[in-house]
Amino acid sequence: MESVTVENDGMLLAALRRGDENAFLSLVNQYGGSMLRVCQVYVNDHAMAEEVVQDTWFDMLQGLKRFEGRSSLKTWLFTILTNNAKTRGKRESRSIPFSAMADLDLGGDEPAVDPERFLPAGHEWAGHWVDKPQPWVRTSEDAVQSKELLAYIHSAIQLLPPNQRTVVTLRDVEGWNSEEVCNVLRISETNQRVLLHRARSKLRLALEQFYDEKIG
C-alpha cells in the first residue's frame, strides 16, 4: 500500500472504513512514534501515555464514519490524541495546555545563543562572534550515519525543554510543516517559530561540542 500522505487521504480513509488491516497498520507505523511523543507533553508516565495512544486509535476507528474530511486525516488523528491526553493530564493534575506552556517557555527573553559567544560592549567588534560557529560541513555523511552521533543527537533532544523538544521533533525528526504543528499543538505561528529556533540553536551547540570532543 502507498505511504500515508495528505494527497492520498481519500484512498486511505476509504480503506480504513472497509476495515482494511494493512491500511490501519500503515497509519500506526507512520504516526505511532509521533503520537507517543506528543502525548508525553501532557502525560508524565510513559505507560500511561501508551494507554492514551491506544485509546486514540480506538476513538479514531469509532469515529471514521463521522469524519467529514475538513482537515487532513493526520490533523484529525492528532487532535483526538491531544484531547485525550489533556483529559488524562487533568486527572493527573497536569492540566496546563501546550499553548500555555509554550507561552511560559517564551518568557524571560531567553537568548537563542549564549551571550558569552559574542564580543562584549566596548570592544571594537562588539556583538561579533568570539569564535565563529563550526560549519555544518563538518557533519560528514559517515558521521551522520554513525550510531554514536545519532545517540548524541537523541540525548540532546531529550534535554530540551518539553515544548522545544516537541516542536523540533515534529518539524525536524517527523518532517511536519509549520501549519501542521500549529494546528495540532494549537499554538501561533510566531510561538512555533521561536520554539523551533531556540531548539535548533541548542542542538547546533550540542553538535559543535560533540565535534570539538572528537577532534580535540
pLDDT at 132: 52
User: What are 78-93's pLDDT values in tens digits?
Assistant: 999 989 998 887 776 5
Residue 88, pLDDT score = 87
Q: Could you tell me the three cell numbers for 178? A: 509549520
Q: How high is the pLDDT of residue 69?
A: 83
Q: In CATH, what number does 6-91 get? A: 1.10.1740.10
The domain ranges of the chain are 6-91, 98-215
Distance CA 132, CA 129 (A): 5
Which portions of the chain are predicted below pLDDT 50? 1-7, 95, 104, 135-138, 140
Distance CA 144, CA 151 (A): 10
Separation of alpha carbons 190 and 196, rounded Å: 10
CATH architecture under which domain 98-215 falls? Orthogonal Bundle (1.10)
Q: What is the pLDDT of residue 90?
A: 77
pTM metric for this prediction? 0.65
Alpha-carbon distances, residue 87 vs 94, 138, 169 (angstroms): 9, 45, 23
Q: Which residues, at least 6 apart from 130, have a Cβ–Cβ distance to it below 8 Å?
A: 116, 117, 118, 119
